[in-house]
Amino acid sequence: MQDTVVAIDGPAGSGKSTVARRLADRLGYRYLPSGKFYRALGWRALAAGVPLDDGEALARLADRTAIEARDEKGDCRFWVDGRDVTDELDGSAVSDAASRVSVFPEVRRRMVRLQQAMAESGPVVAEGRDMASVVFPAAQHKFYLDASVAARAKRRAEDLRRRGEEADETKLAEEIAARDRRDSSRQAAPLRQVEGAVYVDTTELTVEEVIERLLRSIGPHRARSRGRPRRRS
């Protein structure tokens, strides 16, 4: 199964979501945004009033919550208990909730099972923080995208402003740095570059330049996968 997985890891704001989505389209693979699984659970926890520091309660919530990723016309939509919540997952509150619920091993085990199940239905480009280290350790192609904190804060601010939200880049930089520390030091699946992963600093690169670097690394496999139809849910 993992011979048709491209695993992309990296910190928040490194560009991995945009790159992975477009790369999946170029290869004819499904796009697997692992962070959205945690956002979906974070959204559910906020809606249900479950404390974000209660690992046992969050694990019980994860067990009874139906989270489904559907590939709809090339777009990965997320459904929680039968409701499409995709457009509600990008706010700051949900982002913070996702980071907080993701520190618990019992929660991560549940999310990992969902992500691996998605890859069983066809080739994927998976992006997150533990794709190559935990979820798909045997992935054929592994990448680690990175960028300066300032660049990542600027990108996040631009995303928020496009959605009509206010954005303070200084505050965002502080939040991103804090999340880096939390993600890198957590006990369960800490953020790290695994051995064999190709490192790409995206600070000064355009999205297309990053994609081309990844495609060059994928090399001959690119030609084999290009003709493969995208698997629909």
Q: Is residue 192 part of a domain?
A: yes
Distance (Å) of CA 41 to CA 61, 81, 171, 192, 219: 8, 11, 25, 23, 36
CATH of the domain at 207: 3.40.50.300
Range of the structural domain that residue 68 is part of: 2-226
Is it the case that residue 229 has pLDDT exceeding 50? no
Q: Is residue 231 part of a domain?
A: no
Section 6-17 average pLDDT: 93
Q: What is the pLDDT of residue 226?
A: 40
Per the structure, the count of domains in the chain is 1
Q: Is residue 23 part of a domain?
A: yes
Distance (Å) of CA 30 to CA 56, 64, 138, 157: 32, 26, 18, 28
Entry pTM: 0.85
Q: Is residue 164 part of a domain?
A: yes
Q: Is residue 86 part of a domain?
A: yes
Q: What is the pLDDT of residue 103?
A: 87
Q: Is residue 232 part of a domain?
A: no
Q: Is residue 96 part of a domain?
A: yes
Q: Is residue 76 part of a domain?
A: yes
